[in-house]
């Protein structure tokens, strides 16, 4: 039931045995790699320690002995499967994804952390995983789904909800049948028809049990916290009974019926296929394409004109892109107002090959008299538009194709038995012979191809089972669009318009497929002893629908009392989307009134790709309302489609398909090439694909781990309807994990072995930076929770990242380092407060990050000492999500730290302009404060500024003081300028240019604002609050301009003084 828009072409189905061997090989390789990494880490540590001791000859032997003992301290002991991970005594000096992500999942699963309890008093929060195809392997679209859904479910679980995430697998009718048919042909040179239906279905079950479901195992590698105790399969016994029950109930309510209509037919599979299984290729001009079953390429994009003789000697010219279908023509349509053909009204054309009389009919709906010749051939059995014309005018419907795409006896003896595209050539030749051929020209067209077989889809008229959709579609439409009683919210909201358009124009749903693998349609045909026609389906009123054969016998006896009859079950199966549409109900036990159904239905949110909004989401809503009595979910979140870094669809032939496991584990360029060679690309495509890989992944793909991949994918969700995935972004987040790792290593070294966290935190008595980091942590918690609540996952991830990176690591950890590097008694109290604050920040920060990055946060959180006299949860998975602590918020402290950070940023900016060799030297700086309040703040936080800006000294100047000489200058704001002492001479021209640009920028802003405030009607139209803000902004700009002018004067004075000294 996979979404299909993410890739340009469906991947070729891999040989299952090959796949199994590859998986075993990959697993062994990963274990080997992990051991090698651990050995390398140990050797590295040994080498580092050895080199640091090289100068101490007298202690060398003792040290070496100690090192040999201590290298083991950095390597995780082996953890028995399913037990809590055994951590090394010391943290490794570098983050290693494979070492960190090992063993945790098995313990989480075995501990039952993911299992929901239907009798719990907690509020439920339920997600049903869109069931991946049983044939599928994890692709990047699945990884995105997994990353988003696991983020949601982990957050809700930590927030006190009875969180249930249900895993399931789709039987994938066509895809699975194709895989097993290919296997049969490859291994035994047999078709399914050779072994019969029962044996074939048995073969499919054997294949499913041996190879199917790989993808669910791979979800574990992504860290997906699914409730595996509820895992189900759309064709297991419970789901199969539910599908039968749904069909019977809908039939009894008159919502399922059988009818003869046009369907999308695949001549290779010999089945009807759904619209989503049809890919369209746009053809601009005459084009030769390979078609399965044909040695030579077939010509498309050509409009062929030919004439039909009219009774009485004239002729009428028509044109078509499918000239072979003229064998099934039953009329010619013209516009009633087209004077060219008025004389033909009511007359007949004569079919040149079989003498059939074709009425000339008038149809203003179909015919555009200004297009082409204004005359249209009508083939009601092979064209959707013609089908409607046939019904309007009561025409004959003549099917000319067999199920495998050959011309049948209706096409005439001259063409019978020919494959349809060979018949195309034969018909053109026959028209030439009869002098009726009028020429051909290029014609732009859209060609429908089956996404599975690449066969050209043929519209065929077939008796099929349909679900009547108009009534249930209206209810589904109202569920989203009714403002007063909205039951479902679609996010992003722009997709509600698509929902409305599709459901307002819905057609009845064809639910039968001519396959052997799937849910057999619970309908039996009754053949009466005295029936003249004995073929299955010959009489439309001889069908009975029942739950089983015994029920069908009873129903047939009721329908035909006293008659002798035999019943036979419809050989067709149900469309895979039918069972998928019931999935939110059936996974919870419907039609039985189970505890799960009562506790967890409706579910909370459906998360999926926007490409299956109609094919799956709408059908779930229609069936959920009808059969479950309520909508199946309250929200629908639609994620973007993933493309490559250049915005191209992912395609094997371009070499840009990204396998999530290759990103997690890493792969060389040679490995990527090898994967291509194992596929089914032809040699020319292989060359292009290899070139694409060399260009995009010249060094292969670095090992990134699941955490980094998940985080990157979640941050990408802000990109509207498509994601242009750049692997370097994932690599960047893997490097960021190292930053987290080092933050914890720093903390552990500063907390010490005997540290115990405090019972409570009282910010008021703490140093300024401790108060600040707690206040901004509060803001980060608040913003993260509100973003997650509104399904703005990129904002949530960005908020957590920014707090960790720019506030905790870049500022707080740097600022508190002096407290630990000096034994000065004045730092004793600050040191203890810094330890407590550090612990609180790491504990909250890891829990805040956990839903996004489960593995690294668990490993680091387990390293933190537990709070005193407090029973800590066994795992971060089931610990509480951070919540805002009101008394931590301190707006004054945040304002003052903003000023400190702005000052530091300006000083760092001046330093970055210096020659490279001078940038890292500590040097004096000066801060010119134009108000006493600003001067007081800067004086108070001198240590913080010295530390963060790497200064040797800092002096605060007042407005009356002379500006220092020999300094680079930067204006922070209208009240504050900074000066950094230079070593050499000033680059006068560069400094002048920098100040000139800044002043020009401020003047522009000032002019723009003045213009707005001077506009006519400004005073009347603009609210007072906005006016006050504009006045304050203008005043600030004027003051800032004065500050720059003053800095410019100081610069000119410095330049003059320097010139005098020379």
Q: What does 599-640 look like in DSSP terms, one character per residue?
A: HH-SEEEEEEEGGGIIIIIIHHHHHHHHHHSS-SEEEEEEEP
Could you count the other beta carbons within 10 Å of the beta carbon of residue 441? 12
Query: Residue 890's closest CA among 773, 995, 805?
Result: 773
CB of 461 closer than 8 Å to CB of 265: no
Query: Could you tell me which residues are beta bridge partners of residue 332?
Result: 360, 377
* Separation CA 682–CA 203 (nearest Å): 30
Secondary structure of 396-441 in the HEC alphabet? CCCCCECCCCEECHHHCCCCCCCEHHHHHHHHHHHHHHCCCEEEEE
- Say which residue the tokens 């990963």 belong to: 30
3-state secondary structure of 785: helix
* Separation CA 824–CA 833 (nearest Å): 15
Per-residue pLDDT, 21: 52
- CA torsion sign, 241 to 245 to 248 to 254? negative
Per-residue pLDDT, 46: 41
3-state secondary structure of 349: strand
CB of 996 closer than 8 Å to CB of 1008: no
List Cβ neighbours of 84 (8 Å cut-off, separation of 6 or more). 107, 874
If you average pLDDT over every residue of the chain, what do you get?
A: 88
- Say which residue the tokens 């439309």 belong to: 540
Query: Residue 139's closest CA among 720, 610, 678, 609?
Result: 609
Number of residues that this document lists for the chain = 1062
* Separation CA 1034–CA 1031 (nearest Å): 5
Six-digit token string for 803: 């707090």
Torsion-angle region of 372 (φ positive above 0: left; ψ -120 to 50: alpha; else: beta): left
CB of 46 closer than 8 Å to CB of 38: no
The radius of gyration of the chain from alpha carbons, rounded to an integer in Å, stands at 37
540 DSSP 8-state letter: G
**Backbone torsions φ then ψ of 964, nearest 5 degrees:** -65, 150
650 DSSP 8-state letter: B
CB of 596 closer than 8 Å to CB of 229: no
Please, what's the largest Cα pairwise distance for the chain?
126
Q: Establish whether the linkage from the previous residue to 591 is cis, with ω within 30° of 0.
A: yes
3-state secondary structure of 298: strand
Per-residue pLDDT, 376: 96
Six-digit token string for 654: 């371009």
* Separation CA 81–CA 409 (nearest Å): 66
964 DSSP 8-state letter: P
* Separation CA 169–CA 133 (nearest Å): 6
Six-digit token string for 566: 């035999």
Query: Residue 268's closest CA among 397, 181, 204?
Result: 181
Could you count the other beta carbons within 10 Å of the beta carbon of residue 332? 23
Per-residue pLDDT, 649: 81
Six-digit token string for 413: 């003896």
* Separation CA 547–CA 541 (nearest Å): 19
Query: Residue 225's closest CA among 169, 150, 163?
Result: 150
pLDDT beneath 50, residues of the chain: 3-17, 19-20, 27, 30-31, 33-69
Query: Could you tell me which residues are beta bridge partners of residue 572?
Result: none
Cα of 703 vs its chain's centroid, Å: 21
Per-residue pLDDT, 313: 85
List Cβ neighbours of 704 (8 Å cut-off, separation of 6 or more). 97, 663, 664, 666, 727, 730, 731, 733, 734
CB of 666 closer than 8 Å to CB of 703: yes
Torsion-angle region of 629 (φ positive above 0: left; ψ -120 to 50: alpha; else: beta): left
* Separation CA 979–CA 237 (nearest Å): 78
Q: Tell me the CA distances in angstroms from 519 to 235, 468, 555, 570, 811, one per residue in order.
A: 7, 20, 21, 11, 61
Per-residue pLDDT, 910: 84
CB of 13 closer than 8 Å to CB of 177: no
Per-residue pLDDT, 37: 45
* Separation CA 346–CA 332 (nearest Å): 11
List Cβ neighbours of 1025 (8 Å cut-off, separation of 6 or more). none
Lay out the sheet containing 976-981: strands in order across: 951-957, 923-929, 976-981, 967-973
* Separation CA 777–CA 839 (nearest Å): 13
CB of 573 closer than 8 Å to CB of 173: yes
* Separation CA 331–CA 388 (nearest Å): 13
List Cβ neighbours of 932 (8 Å cut-off, separation of 6 or more). none
Could you count the other beta carbons within 10 Å of the beta carbon of residue 144? 27
């Amino acid at each position: 039931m996979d979404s299909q828009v993410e890739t340009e072409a469906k991947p070729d189905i891999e040989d299952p045995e090959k796949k199994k061997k590859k998986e075993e090989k990959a697993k062994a390789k990963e274990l080997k790699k992990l051991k090698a990494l651990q050995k390398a880490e140990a050797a590295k540590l040994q080498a580092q320690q050895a080199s640091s001791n090289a100068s101490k000859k007298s202690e060398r032997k003792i040290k070496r002995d100690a090192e040999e003992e201590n290298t083991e301290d950095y390597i995780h002991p082996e953890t028995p499967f399913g037990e809590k991970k055994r951590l090394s005594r010391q943290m490794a000096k570098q983050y290693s994804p494979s070492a960190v992500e090992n063993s945790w999942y098995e313990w989480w699963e075995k501990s039952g952390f993911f299992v929901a309890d239907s009798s719990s008093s907690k509020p439920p929060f339920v997600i049903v995983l869109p069931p991946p195809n049983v044939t599928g392997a994890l692709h990047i679209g699945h990884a995105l789904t997994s990353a988003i859904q696991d983020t949601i479910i982990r957050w809700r679980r930590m927030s006190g909800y009875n969180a249930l995430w249900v895993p399931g697998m789709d039987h994938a009718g066509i895809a699975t049948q194709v895989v097993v048919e290919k296997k049969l042909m490859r291994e035994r040179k047999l078709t399914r028809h050779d072994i019969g239906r029962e044996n074939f279905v048995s073969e499919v079950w054997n294949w499913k049990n041996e190879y199917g479901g790989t993808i669910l195992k791979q979800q574990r590698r992504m860290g997906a916290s699914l409730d595996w105790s509820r895992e189900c399969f759309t064709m297991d016994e419970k789901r199969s009974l539910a599908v039968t029950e749904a069909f019977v109930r809908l039939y009894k309510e008159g919502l399922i019926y059988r009818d003869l209509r046009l369907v999308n037919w695949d001549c290779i599979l010999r089945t009807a296929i759904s619209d989503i299984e049809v890919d369209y290729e746009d053809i601009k001009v005459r084009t030769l394409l390979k078609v399965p079953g044909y040695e030579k390429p077939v010509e498309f994009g050509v409009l062929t004109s030919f004439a039909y003789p009219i009774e009485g000697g004239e002729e009428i010219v028509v044109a078509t892109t499918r000239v072979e279908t003229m064998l099934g023509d039953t009329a010619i349509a013209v516009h009633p107002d087209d004077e060219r053909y008025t004389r033909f009204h009511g007359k007949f054309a004569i079919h040149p090959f079989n003498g059939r009389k074709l009425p000339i009919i008038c149809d203003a709906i179909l015919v555009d008299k200004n297009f082409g010749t204004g005359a249209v051939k009508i083939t009601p059995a092979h064209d959707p538009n013609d089908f409607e014309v046939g019904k309007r005018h009561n025409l004959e419907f003549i099917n000319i194709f067999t199920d495998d795409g050959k011309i049948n006896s209706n096409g005439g003896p001259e063409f019978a038995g020919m494959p349809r595209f060979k018949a195309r050539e034969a018909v053109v030749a026959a028209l030439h012979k009869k002098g009726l051929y009028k020429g051909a020209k290029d014609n732009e067209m859209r060609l429908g191809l089956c996404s599975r077989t690449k066969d050209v889809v043929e519209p065929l008229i077939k008796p099929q089972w349909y679900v009547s959709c108009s009534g249930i579609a209206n209810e589904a439409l109202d569920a989203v669009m009714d403002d007063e009683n909205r039951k479902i919210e679609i996010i992003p909201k722009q997709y509600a318009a698509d929902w409305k358009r599709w459901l307002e124009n819905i057609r009845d749903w064809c639910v039968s497929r001519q396959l052997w693998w799937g849910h057999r349609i619970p309908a039996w045909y009754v053949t009466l002893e005295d029936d003249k026609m004995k073929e299955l389906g010959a009489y439309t009123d001889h069908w009975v629908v029942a739950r089983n054969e015994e029920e069908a016998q009873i129903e047939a006896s009721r329908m035909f009392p006293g008659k002798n009859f035999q019943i036979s079950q419809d050989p067709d199966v149900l469309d895979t989307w039918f069972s998928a549409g019931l999935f939110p109900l059936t996974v919870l036990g419907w039609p039985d009134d189970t505890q799960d159904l009562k506790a967890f239905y409706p579910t909370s949110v459906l998360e999926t790709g926007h490409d299956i909004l109609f094919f799956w989401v709408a059908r779930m809503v229609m069936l959920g309302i009808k059969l479950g009595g309520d909508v199946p979910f309250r929200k629908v979140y639609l994620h973007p489609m993933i493309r490559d870094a250049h915005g191209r669809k992912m395609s094997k032939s371009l070499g840009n398909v990204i396998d999530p496991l290759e990103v997690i584990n890493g792969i060389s360029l040679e490995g990527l090439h090898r994967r291509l060679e194992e596929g089914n690309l032809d040699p020319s495509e292989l060359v292009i694909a290899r070139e694409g890989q060399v260009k995009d992944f010249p060094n292969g793909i670095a090992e990134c781990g699941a955490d980094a991949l998940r985080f990157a994918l979640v941050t990408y969700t802000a990109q509207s309807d498509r994601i242009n995935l750049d692997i370097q972004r994932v690599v960047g987040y893997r490097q960021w994990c190292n930053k987290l790792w080092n933050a914890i290593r720093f903390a552990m070294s500063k907390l010490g072995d005997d540290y115990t966290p405090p019972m409570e935190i009282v910010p008021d008595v703490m140093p300024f930076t401790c108060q600040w980091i707690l206040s901004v942590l509060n803001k980060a918690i608040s913003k993260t929770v509100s973003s997650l609540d509104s399904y703005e996952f990129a904002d949530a991830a960005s908020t957590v990242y920014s707090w960790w990176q720019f506030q905790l690591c870049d500022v707080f950890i740097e600022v508190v380092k002096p407290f630990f590097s000096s034994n000065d008694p004045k730092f004793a109290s600050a040191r203890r407060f810094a330890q407590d604050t550090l612990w609180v920040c790491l504990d909250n920060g890891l829990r805040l990050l956990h839903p996004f990055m489960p593995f690294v946060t668990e490993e680091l959180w387990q390293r933190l000492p537990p709070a005193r006299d407090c029973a800590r949860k066994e795992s971060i998975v089931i610990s509480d999500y951070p919540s805002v602590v009101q008394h931590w918020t301190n707006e004054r402290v945040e304002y003052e730290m903003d000023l400190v950070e702005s000052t530091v940023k300006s000083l760092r900016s001046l330093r970055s302009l210096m020659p490279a060799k001078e940038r890292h030297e500590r040097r004096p700086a000066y801060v010119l404060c134009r108000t006493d309040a600003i001067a007081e703040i800067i004086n108070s936080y001198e240590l913080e500024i010295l530390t963060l800006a790497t200064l040797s000294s800092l002096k605060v100047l007042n407005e009356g003081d002379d500006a220092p000489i020999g300094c680079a200058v930067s204006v922070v704001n209208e009240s504050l300028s900074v000066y950094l002492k230079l070593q050499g001479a000033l680059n006068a021209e560069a400094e002048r240019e920098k100040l000139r640009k800044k002043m020009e920028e401020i003047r522009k802003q000032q002019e723009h604002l003045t213009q707005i405030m001077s506009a006519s009607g400004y005073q009347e139209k603009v609210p007072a609050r906005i006016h006050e803000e504009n006045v304050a902004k203008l005043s600030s700009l004027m003051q800032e301009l004065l500050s720059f002018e003053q800095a410019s004067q100081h610069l000119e004075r410095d330049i003059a003084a320097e010139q005098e000294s020379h």
